[in-house]
């Protein structure tokens, strides 16, 4: 009997279920399909055929994915390498091919690939593969599907040399977990509160308690409470930036709006760079289930939607840099430049601002003490795990609060929902209101606002006041989900583009003659739809004044902005 392409399941230290972008109806053969001789010939036309002796390494773990192989005769073994041990976790037989999502993203690989016997291989460079997936739709479908499924399998098996040691009471532990999960990075997690033998591991790496959380990267490098940028550097997420290169378009922000702009821009032949300060997907990436986005009648998780869009943008050749924060726009000359970390700048003829919004924080003196230790701004499975079968509180009356309450009600014992207004009708979609009304687990409190938080190293108690009756209620809860509206991420643009009183960016016909005078608008034409007061600089999605805060409108605006970019580039 044939053994499975992937070896037997390996032990994973993690007790976290990492959400991955599942593809419906996936079969093992989708993950390791065999190309027909005719399909292989099309691949070979972009590379060369090599005879390779037995036991030769063709891809080293932790190296950049420069090469892609398809087996003509013989066999390739896919090997997980840990400190002292090698384990064959998969095999490629004749017709099959190597690679997973990292081939598209350019990130360093997780496995070593070696010939099991003397083999004939088709070898092609990564650049040639990227060109092939853009022109050959049949091969593109086969490769993309296999690449995504393989990454999911690597995540599910915890095939990674990343170990996170942290605590459920630490905001930075949650930050790193979210960052790795939302960037589809497998890792193992050791919780200090639950693992008795952690001290030995810490001693081995000379790590003190004050250094936590600690990320052991590549089995060797010990990162003490690393920033997201330090993690990306260790994992080799980002390709080097050529600062002299002037792009057609830089997209700032890889939420739905930015990813849509990248997909349409790159697919229409523009040279596109995307800068994302955290992880692809933006706010939508933190949504447990988006049910009102066209084409997904049973809903789709934000992580899955983001994963698909991210892969799509890379397939068309957009370069996406993760954990790269746009710190300022140099707007007094063209081409424009964006200041990023380490004093570097990237330049482009047009800029798409897709930086979205971030949550407002509750106005409570000791709030920061409990952020990550009971106060959360997203309700994904990571946070839900922390309050299984407990009482929780959701603050806010918008759709994101409604979604969070409905999601948490599946696992929490009781969900209190606190809104300042009289009810939900003015702020929430009808389908969510109905679910909240029908849920026996959710208790709605209107006209109410949080007045105090109590606890030691973790949130234990919350007090709120009913502003109508003046009565005060106190409950023992370990988790408060704060979803009370948002402020635009536009402060990095200070002085460059016209904004409204709340900081949202004005575009198109929303720009008054005074705005344009103040900005010294230099052209005879009016600003295009979505164009800011600075020619060639556009704003799309939630950060734009007048935008409807929805995934569909963000995607719609991102999708059409490329057509205006073409017009500006031809001016």
Does 428 participate in binding ligand FAD (rule CB under 6 A)?
no
> Which of residues 301, 489, 507, 533 is near ligand FAD by CB under 6 A?
489
Nearest residue (CB) to ligand FAD, 33 versus 280: 280
Q: Which stretch binds ligand FAD (CB under 6 A): 182-190, 282-290, 387-395, 461-469?
A: 282-290
3-state secondary structure 515-541: HHHHCCCCCCCCCCCCECCCCCEEECH
425: phi > 0 → left, psi -120 to 50 → alpha, else beta; which?
alpha
Does 337 participate in binding ligand FAD (rule CB under 6 A)?
no
DSSP string computed for 73-125: ES-EEEEEEETTEEEEEEEE-TT-B---HHHHH-PPPSSEEEESSSEEEEEEE
Total length of the chain: 571
Least gap, CB of 374 to ligand FAD (angstroms):
18
d(CA 522, CA 286): 40
Tokens of 51: 């005879």
Q: Which residues pair with 59 in a beta bridge?
A: 113
Least gap, CB of 400 to ligand FAD (angstroms):
4
From residue 556, alpha-carbon distances to 117, 277, 293 in Å are 51, 22, 11
Does 556 participate in binding ligand FAD (rule CB under 6 A)?
no
What is the total count of residues that contact ligand FAD (CB under 6 A)? 37
Nearest residue (CB) to ligand FAD, 238 versus 278: 278
Q: Which stretch binds ligand FAD (CB under 6 A): 174-182, 226-234, 352-360, 559-567?
A: 352-360
Contact 315, 148 (CB under 8 A): no
User: What residues have CB less than 8 Å from 53, skipping those under 6 apart?
Assistant: 115, 118
Contact 515, 498 (CB under 8 A): yes
Nearest residue (CB) to ligand FAD, 26 versus 552: 552
Does 21 participate in binding ligand FAD (rule CB under 6 A)?
no
Contact 424, 397 (CB under 8 A): yes
Least gap, CB of 330 to ligand FAD (angstroms):
14
Contact 567, 530 (CB under 8 A): no
d(CA 392, CA 405): 9
Alpha helices in 109-221 (DSSP H): 126-135, 137-156, 171-182, 198-204
Q: Is 433 helix (H, G, I), strand (E, B) or coil?
A: helix
Least gap, CB of 316 to ligand FAD (angstroms):
18
Does 427 participate in binding ligand FAD (rule CB under 6 A)?
no
User: What residues have CB less than 8 Å from 473, skipping those under 6 apart?
Assistant: 445, 448, 463, 464, 465, 466
Does 16 participate in binding ligand FAD (rule CB under 6 A)?
no
Nearest residue (CB) to ligand FAD, 71 versus 272: 272
Does 112 participate in binding ligand FAD (rule CB under 6 A)?
no
Least gap, CB of 463 to ligand FAD (angstroms):
25
Nearest residue (CB) to ligand FAD, 225 versus 429: 429
Nearest residue (CB) to ligand FAD, 79 versus 428: 428
Least gap, CB of 540 to ligand FAD (angstroms):
7
Q: Which stretch binds ligand FAD (CB under 6 A): 163-171, 222-230, 263-271, 546-554?
A: 546-554
Nearest residue (CB) to ligand FAD, 275 versus 453: 275
Q: Which residues pair with 449 in a beta bridge?
A: 465
Query: What single-letter DSSP state applies at residue 416?
Result: E
> Which of residues 44, 118, 330, 492 is near ligand FAD by CB under 6 A?
492
Does 287 participate in binding ligand FAD (rule CB under 6 A)?
yes
Does 312 participate in binding ligand FAD (rule CB under 6 A)?
no
d(CA 540, CA 520): 22
Least gap, CB of 112 to ligand FAD (angstroms):
33
Q: How many CA atoms lie within 13 A of 1 on its CB side?
A: 2
Does 507 participate in binding ligand FAD (rule CB under 6 A)?
no
User: What residues have CB less than 8 Å from 274, skipping those under 6 apart?
Assistant: 250, 251, 252, 254, 258, 259, 262, 313, 318, 319, 320, 321
Listed residue (548, 400, 422) closest to 482, CA to CA: 400
Does 482 participate in binding ligand FAD (rule CB under 6 A)?
no
Does 304 participate in binding ligand FAD (rule CB under 6 A)?
no
Nearest residue (CB) to ligand FAD, 549 versus 566: 549
Sheet holding 221-224, edge to edge: 188-191, 163-166, 214-217, 221-224
Least gap, CB of 290 to ligand FAD (angstroms):
4
> Which of residues 275, 373, 415, 417 is near ligand FAD by CB under 6 A?
275
Place of tokens 């390791």: 32
Q: Which stretch binds ligand FAD (CB under 6 A): 77-85, 196-204, 442-450, 541-549?
A: 541-549
Contact 71, 77 (CB under 8 A): no
Nearest residue (CB) to ligand FAD, 238 versus 403: 403
Least gap, CB of 473 to ligand FAD (angstroms):
26
d(CA 430, CA 436): 10
Least gap, CB of 570 to ligand FAD (angstroms):
27
Nearest residue (CB) to ligand FAD, 132 versus 340: 340
Least gap, CB of 254 to ligand FAD (angstroms):
5
Q: Which stretch binds ligand FAD (CB under 6 A): 122-130, 238-246, 248-256, 309-317?
A: 248-256
User: Binding residues for ligand FAD, per CB under 6 A?
Assistant: 252-258, 275-278, 282-284, 286-287, 290-292, 325-326, 354-357, 399-400, 403, 489, 492, 541-542, 549-552, 554
């Amino acid at each position: 009997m044939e053994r499975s392409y992937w070896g037997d399941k390996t032990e994973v230290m993690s007790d976290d279920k990492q959400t991955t972008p599942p593809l419906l109806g996936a079969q093992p053969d989708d993950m390791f399909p065999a190309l027909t001789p005719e399909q292989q010939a099309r691949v070979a036309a972009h590379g060369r055929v090599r005879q390779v002796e037995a036991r030769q390494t063709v891809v080293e773990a932790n190296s950049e994915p420069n090469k892609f192989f398809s087996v003509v005769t013989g066999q390739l073994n896919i090997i997980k390498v840990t400190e002292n041990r090698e384990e064959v976790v998969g095999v490629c037989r004749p017709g099959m091919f190597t690679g997973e999502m990292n081939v598209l993203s350019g990130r360093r690989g997780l496995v070593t690939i070696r010939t099991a016997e003397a083999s004939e291989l088709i070898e092609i460079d990564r650049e040639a593969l990227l060109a092939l997936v853009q022109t050959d739709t049949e091969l593109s479908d086969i490769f993309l599907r296999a690449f995504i499924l393989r990454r999911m399998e690597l995540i599910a098996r915890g095939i990674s040399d990343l170990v996170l040691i942290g605590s459920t009471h630490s905001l930075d532990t949650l930050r790193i977990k979210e960052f790795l999960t939302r960037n589809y990075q497998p890792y193992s997690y050791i919780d200090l509160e639950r693992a008795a033998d952690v001290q030995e591991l810490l001693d081995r790496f000379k790590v003190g308690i004050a250094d936590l959380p600690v990320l052991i990267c590549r089995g060797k490098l010990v990162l003490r409470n690393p920033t997201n940028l330090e993690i990306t550097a260790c994992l080799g997420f980002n390709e080097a930036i050529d600062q002299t290169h002037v792009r057609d378009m830089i997209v700032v922000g890889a939420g739905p709006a930015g990813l849509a702009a990248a997909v349409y821009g790159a697919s229409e032949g523009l040279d596109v760079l995307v800068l994302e300060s955290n992880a692809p997907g933006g706010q939508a990436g933190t949504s447990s289930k988006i049910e009102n986005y066209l084409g997904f009648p049973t809903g789709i998780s934000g992580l899955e939607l983001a994963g698909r869009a991210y892969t799509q943008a890379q397939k068309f050749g957009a370069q996406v840099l993760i954990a790269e924060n746009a710190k300022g726009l140099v707007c007094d000359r063209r081409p424009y430049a964006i200041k990023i970390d380490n004093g570097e700048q990237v330049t482009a003829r047009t800029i798409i601002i897709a930086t979205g919004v971030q949550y407002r924080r509750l106005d409570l003196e000791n709030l920061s003490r409990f952020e990550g230790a009971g106060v959360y701004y997203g309700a994904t499975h990571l946070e839900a795990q922390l309050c299984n079968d407990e009482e929780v509180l959701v603050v806010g009356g918008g759709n994101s609060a409604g979604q969070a309450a409905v999601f948490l009600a599946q696992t929490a014992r009781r969900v209190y929902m606190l809104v300042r207004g009289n009810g939900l009708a003015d702020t929430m979609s009808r389908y969510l209101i109905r679910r909240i009304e029908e849920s026996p687990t959710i208790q709605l409190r209107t006209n109410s606002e949080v007045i105090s938080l109590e606890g030691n190293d973790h949130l234990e108690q919350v007090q709120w006041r009913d502003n109508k009756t003046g009565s005060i209620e106190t409950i023992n809860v370990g988790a408060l989900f704060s979803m009370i509206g948002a402020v635009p991420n536009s402060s990095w643009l200070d002085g460059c583009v016209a904004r409204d009183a709340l900081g949202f960016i004005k575009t198109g016909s929303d720009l008054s003659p005074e705005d344009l005078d103040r900005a010294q608008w230099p052209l005879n034409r009016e600003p295009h739809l979505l164009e800011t007061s600075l020619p060639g600089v556009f704003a799309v999605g939630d950060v734009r004044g007048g935008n409807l805060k929805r995934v569909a409108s963000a995607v719609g605006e991102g999708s059409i902005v490329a057509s205006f970019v073409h017009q500006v580039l031809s001016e």
